[in-house]
Structure 1
Amino acid sequence: MRCGRSGRSQEQTMASKKALAMQPSKKICMTLLPQDIVELILLRLPVSTLLRCRGVCKQWDGIIRDPQFAMAHIQRAPRRPLFFFQRENLVHLLYPSEAILFDEAWSPPKWVVPVIEPDDFLCASCNGLICLYSDKSTIKIANLATGECMHLVKPVRNSKTDHFSYYSFGFHPVTKQYKVMHFLRDEHLHVGTSFSIIQVYTLGDEKWRDVRTPQALSLRCVERSGVVNVDGAMYWLTEDEESVWKHAVVTFDLSEELFQWLQLPAVDPANYVLRDPDQWLITEVDSNVSVSYYETGKLHIWTIDSKIEQSWSQKYNIRLSMLEVPGPHWICGDKIILHDFNKNLYFYELMGKNSEIESSKLVKQLRFSPRNNMQCFMFVKSLVRLDAFRKAGVVRRPKRREGWKLKKWEVWMDRLHRLENHCRSIHDMKHKIYENADKMGMEIKLDLQQTPDLDSSLRLINWLEYRRVLEILCVNLDNMHEVLTVMNNTTGAAHNKESHVADQGTSSSAVGISGS
């Protein structure tokens, strides 16, 4: 037997040495592959894997850090919806701003996005970078995948009339420049409902520049329907009293910084009930600029075919019933994003140009009650590096829980800490129940749902997960209560039986004594 064990152990040792000897050769083979082959392999890997690959070898590191590779990877990466809920004071509790980024399986995450502080507002998303506005004197450009942040001084400081919707962010694929735009509110003209200057900052420059618009434009339209970035230009709606639709599309080229007006689709107004001009929205569908009009339970979506000829084609004609769409993006691939008045969020697969939303085919994703203010952006995880634009901004990783230290968030943080304590208490209670059951000789089964590890020293759960964990705790408490009830009843029955036997023994003794 000893010889057999020794032989096997020697064979195992030899096999492990052989495996170790093979590993370097595999790495050498990988590094000796042609550059273009290695790039094709790395292009198919997710961002999280590529970030771990940095530093493995000089060849990989050089490829992954190359801006051209980052752009090529973006083209292949899947686009996913990013839902943003801004801070709100609801039900006597201040809720923080939070982003919910769905994964490839269209499932929401559990944890708070580190680069988003509780007082941030999301302005735009572009190539995996997001633009965040806060009450501070700076705005922030952040990469959610890498955790990098760039802080830029606002063009107008301490303005009481400034708003997060006045900022946008875009990219030009030819010049490779990222630009932040600020619509400067006219304080005296039209009672502050318009703007005549766009302040532009190019990432890497030293200061903001003023670009004057050909005429005063509607700031109210920008607030309501937002701005989209498509193929190197920014698009938004403005009021146009001379047109049939009372609206027009303004385009601002990010390279030449020139404006162009696009008339809305030429259709017969008799076919549409033009009751509310505020029902116009601008969005992006399949990388094309699109506008939509909501009319009595129907959503009409047009996509521009040619900016030169200003021709449009109708992309979708959707019957929504009692459902609504979040802005500025609500179509991702073949799915449309919807929500109802009960604050339930759904996805629905569009099968053709004319679609009628069937309630039985709605896929419910989450319920965002009690939150109200929701935006939806299309997002892609990327390797775009912000340290390439250090010239004017400060690039750093955010300090852990910097914004959560403010006094106004003490109540929310206290709730999270109490939730952690409740999870630990239920965990301890479960073990005590099993110990007592073992002492009593009982076999029990606790059907408890697993709760996540809520170690507050590492990261915070988001408010969706907070609500889910609360629901789990309630179910677990009910299950333990039922088990405890059974255990108490069993203990009580055993105690009554022992008391009954003891009473019988006492009676028999009494009879025997009297008989003697």
Structure 2
Amino acid sequence: MDNLPSNVMFDILSRVPVKTIIHCKCVCKRWQTIILDPYFADMHLSRSPAGLMINHNYEKDMRSSTIKPGILKWVEIEDESDYHYLHHDLLMSLDLNLGTIFQDSQILLVGSVNGLVCLWQFGPRGHDNTYICNPITREYMILPRQQYYRDGYAIIVYGFGVGLKTNEYKVVRTFQGDIPPDSTSTSRPSLLEAEVYTLGTGQWRSLGHVPYWLCGFHGPFLNGHAHWMVVDPDSPEKICAFDFDNETFKLFPSPPVENIAESRIHFRSLGVLKGCLSQSDTFDSQFTVWVMKEYRVKTSWHKQVVIKQSISPSLDWVMWEPMYLITGLKDGTILMVYYEDKLLEYCPQNQTVEDTKLFDRYLDAMAYRPSFLKLQNFRAETVHVF
């Protein structure tokens, strides 16, 4: 293979499994040079298989004073039109519990784009840090402390994405403060501010006032935008989108508002299923999935799935807490997380919800596509290795 042209070597190596590529770096200097080349990272990303990134905190105990950050676990998905298979390799896990900077804090997954993962660290000892990491290359960077953080009751909403025109990776964060802890859910925050961080610049920039009251710790990224649910009861649309190129917040077409009179609960959340923005509505009697077939076209919202509680009698507890859409597979399966407890899948063939039994208790998950994009490519950033 030493006699093969470089372009052929790039093509061959970009097609092999990620774990094999990691070992290939140790074969010879030429292979290592190819794998570390930004062109190789772009070529591999275009062929990178879809998967999941799980933050599994099996030691979490709300009754204990001990707080653990958890373990990042990459789940590979063998996804075919007639079957799928989820595989977790222990060797590809990243144990955040071993990092001294993560001690006595919690870690929340707030975004994943092109193999990069955005993490938010928070905890009772004043932790409020944002990290960008690549679990495959084991690199991470710590962003500077945010401008709007201060003591007191507040809601933080994150978004992580890349501009379609500028190709700049950015973290956007809204600070929704001055909400009394005992206030009603309709009490609008008196402070709604936003700031954005462009990777490679070394500083946050203020975006000023945000006109919409948002909910959800993170906004799913699609088509150069992050998306969140809008809380304002009088808003004509119930979704807001942030444009990473123009750095603007705008209302986004939402599906029809669905109400079930006898239902005592109603949770809504957003996700991306097979390249389409999707919304889930959780009631205590059913779970509905809406899919936007054409991006930004309101009339293209389609009620794709209605899961009745009675069709999954063994999971009669499912409808009592929020379910979050994670990703959709070729055979129609929908992967989702029930609250923080389990990774579930909706099986379209028999119209039931099943427990994958891959992880149990205290997990967060999002769609993830592994890459070899190196954080050293972003100038003005200090990069560390786990």
Q: Please tell me whether residue 28 in structure 1 is matched to residue 28 in structure 2.
A: no
Instruction: Return the structure number with greater relative CO, CA threshold 8 A, min gap 6.
Output: 2
Q: Please tell me whether residue 50 in structure 1 is matched to residue 21 in structure 2.
A: yes
Structure-2 residue corresponding to 1:199? 195
What SS does the aligned partner of 1:283 have? strand
Q: Please tell me whether residue 222 in structure 1 is matched to residue 222 in structure 2.
A: no
d(CA) in 2 for partners of 1:84, 1:212: 32
Structure-2 residue corresponding to 1:141? 132
Structure-2 residue corresponding to 1:130? 117
Among 335, 354, 372, which residue is 1:383 paired with? 372
Q: How far 1:229 sits from its partner (Å)?
A: 0.6
CA contact (8 A) 1:185 1:193 kept: yes
Change in CA separation of 1:108 and 1:48 when aligned onto 2, cut-off 3 Å: closer
- Aligned residue type for 2:113: C
Structure-1 residue corresponding to 2:270? 282
Q: How far 1:329 sits from its partner (Å)?
A: 2.0
CA contact (8 A) 1:169 1:180 kept: yes
What SS does the aligned partner of 2:94 have? coil
Change in CA separation of 1:316 and 1:82 when aligned onto 2, cut-off 3 Å: same
Structure-2 residue corresponding to 1:75? 46
- Aligned residue type for 2:38: P
What SS does the aligned partner of 1:41 have? helix
Q: How far 1:131 sits from its partner (Å)?
A: 1.6
Q: Please tell me whether residue 248 in structure 1 is matched to residue 238 in structure 2.
A: yes
Q: How far 1:196 sits from its partner (Å)?
A: 2.9
Q: Please tell me whether residue 302 in structure 1 is matched to residue 290 in structure 2.
A: yes
CA contact (8 A) 2:115 2:369 kept: yes
Structure-1 residue corresponding to 2:345? 347
What SS does the aligned partner of 1:94 have? coil
- My pick for the range that moved more, 194-203 or 114-123, is 114-123
Matches within 5 A, 1:404-419: none
Q: CA RMSD in A?
A: 3.5
CA contact (8 A) 1:152 1:394 kept: no
d(CA) in 2 for partners of 1:157, 1:313: 36
Q: How far 1:93 sits from its partner (Å)?
A: 7.2
Structure-2 residue corresponding to 1:317? 305
Change in CA separation of 1:234 and 1:157 when aligned onto 2, cut-off 3 Å: closer
Structure-1 residue corresponding to 2:158? 167
Which structure 1 residue ranges, 5 or more long, are not aligned? 1-26, 399-516
Structure-1 residue corresponding to 2:80? none
Structure-2 residue corresponding to 1:234? 226
Q: How far 1:110 sits from its partner (Å)?
A: 3.9
Change in CA separation of 1:68 and 1:288 when aligned onto 2, cut-off 3 Å: farther
- CA deviation map 1:118-172 (0-9, x unaligned): 5341222222221222244642111111111111112137623477953332123
Structure-1 residue corresponding to 2:81? none
- Aligned residue type for 2:48: A
What SS does the aligned partner of 2:41 have? helix
Q: How far 1:387 sits from its partner (Å)?
A: 0.8
- CA deviation map 1:280-337 (0-9, x unaligned): 2111111221112223433222222445543333252131522356435254553323
The structure with the largest alpha-carbon Rg is: 1
- CA deviation map 1:211-261 (0-9, x unaligned): 13462x224x234xx411112111111124346xx7511111101112321
- CA deviation map 1:354-396 (0-9, x unaligned): x6216xxx35424624x4xx322111221010011140x3211
Q: Please tell me whether residue 210 in structure 1 is matched to residue 196 in structure 2.
A: no
Structure-2 residue corresponding to 1:436? none
What SS does the aligned partner of 1:365 have? strand
d(CA) in 2 for partners of 1:281, 1:390: 35
Q: How far 1:195 sits from its partner (Å)?
A: 5.1
CA contact (8 A) 1:239 1:247 kept: no
d(CA) in 2 for partners of 1:100, 1:214: 34
d(CA) in 2 for partners of 1:114, 1:164: 27
CA contact (8 A) 1:320 1:356 kept: no
CA contact (8 A) 2:131 2:143 kept: yes
d(CA) in 2 for partners of 1:265, 1:341: 23
CA contact (8 A) 1:305 1:312 kept: yes
Structure-1 residue corresponding to 2:87? 107
What SS does the aligned partner of 1:329 have? strand
- CA deviation map 1:474-514 (0-9, x unaligned): xxxxxxxxxxxxxxxxxxxxxxxxxxxxxxxxxxxxxxxxx
- CA deviation map 1:425-446 (0-9, x unaligned): xxxxxxxxxxxxxxxxxxxxxx
Structure-2 residue corresponding to 1:425? none
Structure-2 residue corresponding to 1:327? 324
Change in CA separation of 1:200 and 1:58 when aligned onto 2, cut-off 3 Å: same
CA contact (8 A) 2:175 2:191 kept: yes
Determine which structure has the larger strand proportion and give its number: 2
Q: Provide TM-score, normalisation by structure 1.
A: 0.59
Change in CA separation of 1:261 and 1:376 when aligned onto 2, cut-off 3 Å: same
Among 247, 250, 266, which residue is 1:257 paired with? 247
Determine which structure has the larger helix proportion and give its number: 1
Q: How far 1:90 sits from its partner (Å)?
A: 4.2
CA contact (8 A) 1:81 1:102 kept: yes
Q: How many residues align?
A: 351
Change in CA separation of 1:299 and 1:173 when aligned onto 2, cut-off 3 Å: same
Change in CA separation of 1:211 and 1:349 when aligned onto 2, cut-off 3 Å: same
Q: How far 1:28 sits from its partner (Å)?
A: 2.7
Change in CA separation of 1:40 and 1:121 when aligned onto 2, cut-off 3 Å: same
CA contact (8 A) 1:228 1:328 kept: no
